[in-house]
Structure 1
Amino acid sequence: MVDRTIHPNTRVLLDAWRRLNAAPGAGAGKTPQVNDHPELVERLFVIQQMRDNAWLFRNAGEAVTGLLGRQLTNHNFLDLWTGPDRKMMGAFLEAIRLDGAPGVVRGRGETMTGQRVELEVSLMPLAHAAERPGAYRLLGLYQALGGEPMLKGRPVWRHRISMLVPPDTRSEGPQLKLVASNG
């Protein structure tokens, strides 16, 4: 995934995910600690895929519930999106599940009275979730990209997708080099 333009919190979480999912012995550096990034914890959430293809919130941090203006546990993540955006989001979640790699959504949230905020939602598979049928979970980061004061305390109600950055599953394997000799 090309991550030059993502929010710094998203970068931190993606880097942590990569380190935690690296092959044994391949991870360099220390294991991420919650104390290193306390502002991230309140923006995290976990969703779980159900048999009917709903993605239920299992938990959500205070900043997420504050921006959305409600408790989210057992609510369908896909209900945040409507029409074509809901279909795109469903397919996007399926791509993350199948590829086993993170993806990022850029979009905007809107209140019932029309105030808007730009958003970035990062989603990444949780380790070992695929091993338990019916328990596939994704870790998410719901990040406003500035403009939260413009909401004037009103909750985000509608979500629209501007850009999807799908999982990058390119493998870094041996490279083939062609050498020609004219002699």
Structure 2
Amino acid sequence: MHYGALHPESRAFLSSWQALNGLADQSETGSAMSKDASSMIGRIFLAQRASEGVFTFKTVGADLKLWTGRDLRDHDVASLFHGADRSLIRALLESAITGPGPALARAAAFGAGFGQRTEVEWVFLPLTDKSGAERVLGLFQPISQSPSISKPVLRFSLTALLPPTPEMPVRQGLRLVVSRD
């Protein structure tokens, strides 16, 4: 899996992050910044590193709550996966922070009905703030537009991982800002 193989909305999410971090050329920056992100809002989440390899959800969009059947705030991101996949997703999240750079995963989502399966993508983008908190901004992206799968899904199973690439330089320019107004 490489960036070109991603769902168009996953690519737009990644492109916006690259533009905000000054990693895209001027023509790509304008294009990325002009994309309407309203269709992604329900699938965006924020996770914070609680300890090595453990990232807990801090905010979760409504679509992700529907897919998982629960409010994931303060739950470990890896809790959505089973067995060896838990260790792999934790290592992928760590790589996004330590890289730092975008990390991506593709997973199969299994529904309750016989043979119900669809592919989803997970995009993890590193963020920093003045306190030094280590967070990732994420996108949960179903691959097919109208998946015929019962919700909540029973489990996610990893099918591909793409850790940060060394050839993508990352300047920590995008910062998380909290407004309590």
TM-score (norm: length of structure 1): 0.80
Question: Following superposition of structure 1 onto structure 2, how do residues 134-173 of structure 1 map, counting pairs within 5 Å?
Answer: 135-146=133-144, 148-152=146-150, 154-170=151-167
Query: Max radius of gyration: which structure?
Result: 1
> Which blocks of at least 5 consecutive residues in structure 1 are unaligned?
173-183
Tell me the CA shift for residue 27 of structure 1: 5.0
CA distance in 1, matches of 2:96, 2:119: 22
RMSD: 2.4
Q: Which amino acid aligns with 2:161?
A: L
Task: Name the CA shift for 1:148/1:110 in 2 (closer, same or farther; >3 Å).
Answer: farther
CA distance in 2, matches of 1:160, 1:58: 23
Which segment drifts farther, 1-10 or 77-86?
1-10
Task: Name the CA shift for 1:63/1:171 in 2 (closer, same or farther; >3 Å).
Answer: closer
Aligned-partner SS, 1:4: helix
Correspondence for 1:177: none
Correspondence for 1:32: 33
Q: Which amino acid aligns with 1:121?
A: W
Correspondence for 1:41: 41
Residue identity over aligned pairs, in percent, reads: 28
CA distance in 2, matches of 1:36, 1:163: 28
Tell me the CA shift for residue 117 of structure 1: 1.5
Aligned residues: 166
Aligned-partner SS, 1:142: strand
Tell me the CA shift for residue 72 of structure 1: 1.0
Deviations 1:23-75 (A, max 9, x none): 7x965544736x82210111100111103642110011111111111111111
Q: Which runs of 4+ in 1 moved over 6 A?
A: none
TM-score (norm: length of structure 2): 0.81
Tell me the CA shift for residue 111 of structure 1: 2.6
**Structure 1 contact 111–157 (Cα < 8 Å) conserved:** yes
**Structure 2 contact 109–117 (Cα < 8 Å) conserved:** yes
Aligned-partner SS, 2:138: strand
